[in-house]
Amino acid sequence: MSHLAPAALAPLKTLFETKRGTLLPLPPKLSRLYGDLRMPPPRPHPHVFSNFVTTLDGVVSLNAKGHASGADISGFSAQDRMVMGLLRAVADVVIIGSGTLGADRQHVWTAEAIFPALAEEYRRLRKALVKCETPLNVIVSGGGEIDLRLPIFASGKVPTLIVTTTAGAKRLSKQRTPDTVEVRAIRHRGNAIPANAILDEVCQVNPGKLILVEGGPRLLGDFYAERLIDEQFLTLAPQIAGRDTGDGRPSLVMGKAFAPRDALWGSLIDMRRGSSHLFLRYSFP
């Protein structure tokens, strides 16, 4: 986790920008580092966007003990973490799967947790946007095999929603549930939970309209399969990770196949550069 001072962090260079949406009131330091950030104007249904970092050859996790998080993919890029924090700062909800939680068990999905050096700037932005102090953290776990003693649940730093199955809820009921944690069970065959069902539960708990999906790849694949992702933020890191037979290294989307019969094509709406990293933004109609 980077503690690099904002003054030492180089601003991103905007290469392409469509200037669609409403300009957000970024505090001066964030505006200097990122540039202009626009999001769609309020509408009846949520705006769902995702953020990932990937290598040039499409790997999003090295899937190795101690090296499973996105930090190894980005090369511990401070600029990538700055952008992650910015997107969490504008989000009302952050959704992750239990696998993502397992890869970073001590983490809490807030802006200041990913980039502490800009904590005050992120707080100022949320206040200007009239948002709660932290986004609702949503954990999706079909089996409910989650340790409720982890910081995301036990620290009280964030309100947390666990979306699971009836069997998963039964398993979780054997643990003490902290006051800041709510468990919602969805009746569905097996451990798979449809993405639209997840979104329905989230919207019942939190009325916010900006929902950030941070993964993992199978959860993101479910959201894409149900055409629920409106935008994809993608950091392209200048690394070739490679794959070996059976190493299990995942790509951006897993568990679903779209092309050639049902290909999903996005439109590039924003591109920025930070050193040799590219920060891309695509719209999916």
Domain 14-283 class?
alpha beta
| Model pTM score | 0.95
Average pLDDT for 48-60: 97
Predicted local distance difference test score (pLDDT) of residue 285? 86
Residue 173 has pLDDT above 90, yes or no: yes
What percentage of the chain carries pLDDT values higher than 90?
Answer: 87
Alpha carbon of 175 to those of 52, 171, 181, 224: distances in Å? 32, 8, 12, 33
Alpha carbon of 24 to those of 28, 86, 95, 101: distances in Å? 12, 11, 22, 30
Mean pLDDT for all residues in the chain: 94
User: How does residue 4 score in pLDDT terms, banded at 50, 70 and 90?
Assistant: low
Residue 2 has pLDDT above 50, yes or no: no
Average pLDDT for 28-46: 95
What span, in angstroms and rounded, lies between the C-alpha atoms of 172 and 166? 10
Average pLDDT for 195-201: 96
What span, in angstroms and rounded, lies between the C-alpha atoms of 152 and 34? 28
Alpha carbon of 271 to those of 8, 12, 196, 281: distances in Å? 22, 10, 29, 6
